[in-house]
Chain A
Amino acid sequence: MSRYRIPGMGRVDPAATVSFTFDGRTYQGLRGDTVASALLANGVHLMGRSFKYHRPRGVVTAGSEEPNALIGTSRGKGRFEPNTRATVQELRAGLTTESQNKWPRLSFDIGAVNDRAYMLFSAGFYYKTFMWPRSFWDKVYEPFIRAAAGLGKSPTEVDPDSYAHRNLHTDVLVVGGGPAGISAALTAAKSGARVVLVDENPEMGGSLLSDPSVRIDGRGSWAWLAEQLSQLRAVGVRLMTRTTAIGYYHQNFVGLVERVTDHLDQPPHGAPRERMWHVRAEQVVLAQGALEKPLVFDGNDRPGVMLAGAAQTYLNRYGVKVGDNAAVVTSHDSAYYAAFDLVDAGARVAAIADTRDSVRPDLLDAARKRGIQVLTGHTATATEGRLRVKSVRVNPVRNGQVGAGRKIACDVLLISGGWTPSLHLFSHTKGSLTWDADSRTFLPNHKTEACQIAGAGRGLWGYGPVLEDGVKAGMAAAQALGRSAEGSDARVEGDRPGTGSSQKELPTDRSPGKAKAFVDYQNDVTAKDIRLAVREGMRSIEHVKRYTTNGMATDQGKMSNINGLMIAADALGKEPPQVGLTTFRPPYTPTSFGAFAGYHKGATFEITRKTPIDPWAEARGAVFEPVSLWRRAWYFPQAGEDMHAAVARECRMTRASVGMFDASTLGKIEVAGPDAVEFMNRMYTNPWTKLAPGRCRYGLLLGEDGFIRDDGVIGRMSQDLFHVTTTTGGAARVMNMMEDYLQTEWPDLDVWLTSTTEQWATVALNGPNARKVLEKLVEGQDLSDEAFPHMSVAECTVAGLPARLFRISFTGELGFEVNVPARHGLQLWKAIHDAGQQYDICPYGTETMHVLRAEKGYIIVGQDTDGTVTPQDAGLDWAIGKAKKDFVGKRSLSRPDIVAPNRKQLVGLLTEDGTKLEEGAQIVLDPNQSLPMTMAGHVTSSYDSVALGRPIAMAVVTGGHGMMGKTVHIPMPNGTIRATVTSTNFYDPTGERLKA
């Protein structure tokens, strides 16, 4: 048994020893311990070094609000985690832990020189110290700050753990498994509601776990607790332990993170480390309790100084005596009970120094009976002890005068500055707070969500009132759900009621300017920092916070916000609510990235959409590129070919004979109904009325602003049916836009839209021999130019498959696109590939498609357009139905800035020296102008063209359409490139090849 473990106390298992290491040394703890309780059982208080001053620090709390005892934990390879709270991490066999922020070792740390030089590190020291000289910023200051900033080592290995995700709907979600939460959950569940009760601890019970002497309904609190839990289970309440409610969002949407395996010696195969729960609750009951505040005085951060409530928890819940000889400094009654429990367990309490002048007589009696000296009206002014507190100096305060100090020897100093209701989740809802002048604390006020707040979380104290309040909250939740709930009374004996007084930093007889009286342990903010911030002009607590970093550490000021506010308010001579309270934001406690990512890592990081033809491309060694969520074959390299060679070959073979391309990713929308043509007229710029069934047309889609949004070929299958194609990336967007107009602007139209993107697999055939290949496979359609001219569409059979066949071209060659039901896509592809063998058919990828279309000046929406390009800018005036009354974007096309002559217009560029331009390169008209030069536009597309024997480019250039034949300049790092402005239609400008 460890030196400080008390047999027979605590909820740990004395028969189950668990070994772990801390800074390389092996310790024994018990099953049920946290790392903190196990170290304390071994007499270890020193657990870390502080962030800024590298001061030795010990554990302060017994919960998730711990600011000091942040450690690195490792559960094996790849499973290192920095900044784990020793008070939260449960012991498990083989756990390796280490302290942080120390070098060379925890007990002797070079960085502690900062502590000696603390005058340099006052509030705002970054702003003051690193201001000048300016030239030092990049080379000296920023690297220094980056090296110094942060706490703990970032993991460097890939996280091998898995993380999970669940959705959960419930009638009532109760957050906090203490007495109030348990009462609320049971009351609501008995009304028949579905209830979920969550608690961040390994077991339910909250404060009851630290107060076994209280009796409820004639039983010890632990027996009562066990019975309540079995009742909760019996009525079907879902009990979730090790589960933190991290955020409370709109409409009672609450995020929970469940720690599933971190506490297990041998997690079963496949078990996730953590699980994120998205809970949607009809009613939420917040029963989060209250957090104890420290007192602020010189030396209140030495190892061995801890919250009184934490000491009580270590004793009762873990059977660990935090010291042999305690001293107590308090401003709240609750610390007395901690002292009593310690004495009753065999420790000595040297004295209780109370800041208050009068204390409840029953507490004084109980203290006297235990031989504890109580010093009322006292302040604490100093502590001693380097790696562990040795003594505390206390002084009487009379009429505001601090008297002579006396030293009280101790090996642990328990402090309590009272309790702050935990308002975090309530604040996430933007619920308003009210300042309670009596208890000098903020309480929840106006609610914005369907929630109830119960217990210490709304300022109540003592088990009787808290249990009663929990029942009330459960009834209120049930009634809000339209259920009738019955109340119940709990009889509490030996209750531990309490009140306290709220404090700023404690008065001292020494120089307050030299006091290291810590307000925020995690960020090393002292009381004098806050007063300095006020002196230097900070008026709002938001400014004080940012200037001093008070409350900005990962604990979000759970312990420091209120103390900081009290001091700032005092310095400003205002009431605290006039100075304000900073906003709490999710997550409530630090949360792993893994919990947020859930299943979205590795192969399921993001959806990768593949076409039915994708397996063929993969087997052929295609190189893929992502296009929106799709992966598309980019090019098909043959042995020894690089991308350049492969693309050149694909281009050459397609123009020379025939190429085939998987166009299945194109968006497809079936537009059907008597008003289909009217709808098309209104959506697209083009006129559709006269387009005969069996014909197709290039369609251009604008936004209301007149800028190009999407394009594609659209076939009229019958009078009332259009087969619309969209860009690959635009499919969902176009569908949404169309539905939006249809439902909100034109609900009178009898037309319906159905996405058929994935109904069809599409193979494009291009090249002079395309018809010869296809003819062998097509039944039911004459493919001759007379019977099936360019821009035709027909339903027929291809390779024995029902098909929609288009004669269209995105290459300038004779071209067809065959659509078959997607399940037949691969079969069609193979049939065409086989049929094309005698013509050396060449499968090509998206890169060749891009080159071939650029040679013809066909735009790609999103590459040659960027959301600011009009049809005129792109040279697509011809696609506008000038006689149409209206279409989306029509009115914008006559806006003065849209018809202005000097807009950026799409043109071709040919470099004089034959270099290939870089896409995105900026264009200037005069390369000799002074810097910064006036940019006239930029290159949008650039390729080596086999057909033209030179590189070609497309670009948007100011007034480009009026600059044909003129020279522009493209300044690059290695010199300025000259290029001639041309038409974008580089290849076969008269279009003879299309008509073959």
Chain B
Amino acid sequence: MTTQRHEFDPTPFLVEELPWAPRFSLRVRPEHRAALAGALSLELPSKVGQRSTAAGTEVLCLGPDEWTILAQDADALTTASSAAYAQIPHSLVEISDREITLRISGAQALTALTTGCPRDVEAMPVGTGARTLFDTATIVLWRDDRQSFRIDVWRSFLPHVHAILDQVLVELKSGL
């Protein structure tokens, strides 16, 4: 007979709520991407899922014409956006308060995400991101390291996501 293994891990993963940070949704036609990037002093990756980091500002390409920006200097960004708008039509909308970010890290962080995320998270390269789901909530998933992720969850969906992660933590602690 096979015997069931019991691996008791006291902290399979850790969930931390990250502090508020300025966040924007940027939309521009792909043909204006490069020009706008220059005007905003940003690197705007052209491939969905790709990220860039420069001077403390992180950018994630979520669609052919959509980027999420974690801005180091929000005022500078909005000022540059206003200045560039007449030449390069685009939309820059602040969404700092729309989502709350959780960091999920630890030996079983990946497993924890697979409880709710239908995407192949394992195959996601470190340093990429994606809009996906956790359970029934839309999230933006950032893979920062092999076992370190961030998820941006709409504010009112966060308690549900958090409650499921709490259950998953108990489940993983059981070793089964």
The CA-CA distance from A720 to B163 in the complex, in Å, is: 41
The 8 Å CB contact of A673, one of B89, B116, B160, is: B89
User: In this assembly, does B2 line the interface, its C-beta being within 8 Å of a C-beta of chain A?
Assistant: yes
Q: Are B25 and A270 touching (Cβ within 8 A)?
A: no
B120: A residues at CB distance < 8 A: 169, 280
Q: Mark A151-177, 1 if CB is under 8 A from B, else 0.
A: 000000000001011111100000000
The CA-CA distance from A11 to B2 in the complex, in Å, is: 10
The closest CB in chain B to the CB of A755 belongs to: B98
The CA-CA distance from A674 to B111 in the complex, in Å, is: 45
User: In this assembly, does A228 line the interface, its C-beta being within 8 Å of a C-beta of chain B?
Assistant: no
The CA-CA distance from A241 to B3 in the complex, in Å, is: 11
Q: What is the distance, in angstroms, from B120's C-beta to the closest C-beta of chain A?
A: 4
Task: Known contacts A164-B115, A755-B98, A759-B94; decide if A269 and B174 are in contact (CB<8 Å).
Answer: yes
User: In this assembly, does B47 line the interface, its C-beta being within 8 Å of a C-beta of chain A?
Assistant: no
- 8 A Cβ contacts from A746-769 to B: 750-752, 754-760
User: In this assembly, does B46 line the interface, its C-beta being within 8 Å of a C-beta of chain A?
Assistant: no
User: In this assembly, does B54 line the interface, its C-beta being within 8 Å of a C-beta of chain A?
Assistant: no
User: In this assembly, does A899 line the interface, its C-beta being within 8 Å of a C-beta of chain B?
Assistant: no
Q: Are A12 and B157 touching (Cβ within 8 A)?
A: no
Q: Are B160 and A756 touching (Cβ within 8 A)?
A: no
A168: B residues at CB distance < 8 A: 114
User: In this assembly, does A268 line the interface, its C-beta being within 8 Å of a C-beta of chain B?
Assistant: yes
Q: Are B164 and A610 touching (Cβ within 8 A)?
A: no
Q: Are B118 and A167 touching (Cβ within 8 A)?
A: yes
Q: Are A270 and B170 touching (Cβ within 8 A)?
A: yes
Task: Known contacts A12-B1, A759-B95; decide if A604 and B163 are in contact (CB<8 Å).
Answer: yes
The closest CB in chain B to the CB of A754 belongs to: B93
Q: Are A13 and B1 touching (Cβ within 8 A)?
A: yes
The closest CB in chain A to the CB of B113 belongs to: A167
B156: A residues at CB distance < 8 A: 607, 609-611, 629-630, 758
Q: What is the distance, in angstroms, from B168's C-beta to the closest C-beta of chain A?
A: 8
The CA-CA distance from A673 to B116 in the complex, in Å, is: 36
User: In this assembly, does B137 line the interface, its C-beta being within 8 Å of a C-beta of chain A?
Assistant: yes
Q: DSSP class of A's interface residues: helix, strand, loop or mixed?
A: loop
Q: Mark A815-858, 1 if CB is under 8 A from B, else 0.
A: 00000011100000000000000000000000000000000000
Q: Are A599 and B1 touching (Cβ within 8 A)?
A: no
Q: Are A673 and B164 touching (Cβ within 8 A)?
A: no
The CA-CA distance from A607 to B20 in the complex, in Å, is: 23
Q: Are B117 and A167 touching (Cβ within 8 A)?
A: yes
Q: What is the distance, in angstroms, from B64's C-beta to the closest C-beta of chain A?
A: 11
Q: What is the distance, in angstroms, from A724's C-beta to the closest C-beta of chain B?
A: 12
- 8 A Cβ contacts from A184-229 to B: 202-203
Stretch at the interface among A259-267, A411-419, A475-483, A694-702: A259-267
* Count of interface residues, chain B, beta-carbon cutoff 8 Å: 50
The 8 Å CB contact of B136, one of A169, A278, A607, A821, is: A607
Q: What is the distance, in angstroms, from B47's C-beta to the closest C-beta of chain A?
A: 20
Q: What is the distance, in angstroms, from B3's C-beta to the closest C-beta of chain A?
A: 10
Task: Known contacts A599-B115, A750-B89; decide if A609 and B98 are in contact (CB<8 Å).
Answer: no
- 8 A Cβ contacts from A780-803 to B: none
The CA-CA distance from A272 to B170 in the complex, in Å, is: 9
The CA-CA distance from A823 to B25 in the complex, in Å, is: 18
The CA-CA distance from A673 to B81 in the complex, in Å, is: 12
Task: Known contacts A267-B176, A270-B174; decide if A169 and B93 are in contact (CB<8 Å).
Answer: no
The CA-CA distance from A751 to B29 in the complex, in Å, is: 10
Q: Mark A248-286, 1 if CB is under 8 A from B, else 0.
A: 000000000000110110011111100000101000000
The CA-CA distance from A720 to B91 in the complex, in Å, is: 10
Q: Are B116 and A165 touching (Cβ within 8 A)?
A: yes
Task: Known contacts A203-B1, A610-B159; decide if A822 and B97 are in contact (CB<8 Å).
Answer: yes
The closest CB in chain B to the CB of A631 belongs to: B156
Q: What is the distance, in angstroms, from A375's C-beta to the closest C-beta of chain B?
A: 39
Task: Known contacts A670-B93, A754-B91, A822-B97; decide if A166 and B114 are in contact (CB<8 Å).
Answer: yes
User: In this assembly, does A149 line the interface, its C-beta being within 8 Å of a C-beta of chain B?
Assistant: no
The closest CB in chain B to the CB of A612 belongs to: B155
The 8 Å CB contact of A261, one of B1, B8, B176, is: B176
User: In this assembly, does A652 line the interface, its C-beta being within 8 Å of a C-beta of chain B?
Assistant: no
Q: What is the distance, in angstroms, from B111's C-beta to the closest C-beta of chain A?
A: 8
Q: Are A599 and B176 touching (Cβ within 8 A)?
A: no
- 8 A Cβ contacts from B120-176 to A: 120, 122-123, 135-137, 154-157, 159-160, 163-164, 167-168, 170-171, 173-176
The CA-CA distance from A459 to B159 in the complex, in Å, is: 52
The CA-CA distance from A669 to B112 in the complex, in Å, is: 32
The closest CB in chain A to the CB of B133 belongs to: A167
A609: B residues at CB distance < 8 A: 156-157
Q: Are A278 and B176 touching (Cβ within 8 A)?
A: no
Q: Are B118 and A672 touching (Cβ within 8 A)?
A: no
Q: Are B164 and A604 touching (Cβ within 8 A)?
A: yes
Q: What is the distance, in angstroms, from B173's C-beta to the closest C-beta of chain A?
A: 6
User: In this assembly, does A557 line the interface, its C-beta being within 8 Å of a C-beta of chain B?
Assistant: no
Q: Are A672 and B93 touching (Cβ within 8 A)?
A: yes
The CA-CA distance from A751 to B90 in the complex, in Å, is: 8
B175: A residues at CB distance < 8 A: 268, 271
User: In this assembly, does A608 line the interface, its C-beta being within 8 Å of a C-beta of chain B?
Assistant: yes
Q: What is the distance, in angstroms, from B87's C-beta to the closest C-beta of chain A?
A: 11
Task: Known contacts A164-B171, A271-B174; decide if A823 and B135 are in contact (CB<8 Å).
Answer: no
Interface centre among B99, B157, B167 (most CB of A within 10 A): B167
A56: B residues at CB distance < 8 A: none
A674: B residues at CB distance < 8 A: 89
Q: What is the distance, in angstroms, from B30's C-beta to the closest C-beta of chain A?
A: 12
User: In this assembly, does A32 line the interface, its C-beta being within 8 Å of a C-beta of chain B?
Assistant: yes
The closest CB in chain A to the CB of B167 belongs to: A599
Q: Are B91 and A673 touching (Cβ within 8 A)?
A: yes
User: In this assembly, does B79 line the interface, its C-beta being within 8 Å of a C-beta of chain A?
Assistant: no
B6: A residues at CB distance < 8 A: 268
A599: B residues at CB distance < 8 A: 115-116, 135, 164, 167-168
Task: Known contacts A272-B171, A670-B91; decide if A202 and B97 are in contact (CB<8 Å).
Answer: no
User: In this assembly, does A807 line the interface, its C-beta being within 8 Å of a C-beta of chain B?
Assistant: no
The 8 Å CB contact of B96, one of A604, A608, A755, A821, is: A821
Task: Known contacts A609-B156, A610-B159; decide if A31 and B117 are in contact (CB<8 Å).
Answer: no
B4: A residues at CB distance < 8 A: 263-264
User: In this assembly, does A603 line the interface, its C-beta being within 8 Å of a C-beta of chain B?
Assistant: yes
Q: Are B2 and A672 touching (Cβ within 8 A)?
A: no
A610: B residues at CB distance < 8 A: 156, 159
Q: Can you list the 5 inter-chain pairs with the closest CB atoms, starting with the nearest? A: A609-B156, A752-B91, A752-B27, A270-B170, A271-B174
Other CB < 8 Å A-B pairs besides A165-B116, A612-B155, A752-B91, 8 of them? A169-B120, A604-B135, A610-B159, A670-B91, A752-B65, A755-B98, A758-B97, A822-B97
Interface residues of A (CB under 8 A from B): 11-13, 31-32, 162, 164-169, 202-203, 241, 260-261, 263-264, 267-272, 278, 280, 599, 603-604, 607-612, 629-630, 670, 672-674, 720, 750-752, 754-760, 821-823
Q: Can you list 26 contacts pairing A with B, beta carbon distance less than 8 Å? A: A11-B1, A162-B171, A167-B114, A167-B115, A261-B176, A264-B4, A267-B176, A269-B170, A269-B173, A269-B174, A270-B170, A270-B173, A278-B118, A280-B120, A599-B167, A599-B168, A603-B163, A674-B89, A720-B85, A752-B27, A755-B98, A757-B98, A759-B95, A821-B96, A822-B155, A823-B20
Interface residues of B (CB under 8 A from A): 1-2, 4, 6, 8, 20, 25, 27, 29, 65, 85, 89-91, 93-99, 111, 114-120, 122-123, 135-137, 154-157, 159-160, 163-164, 167-168, 170-171, 173-176
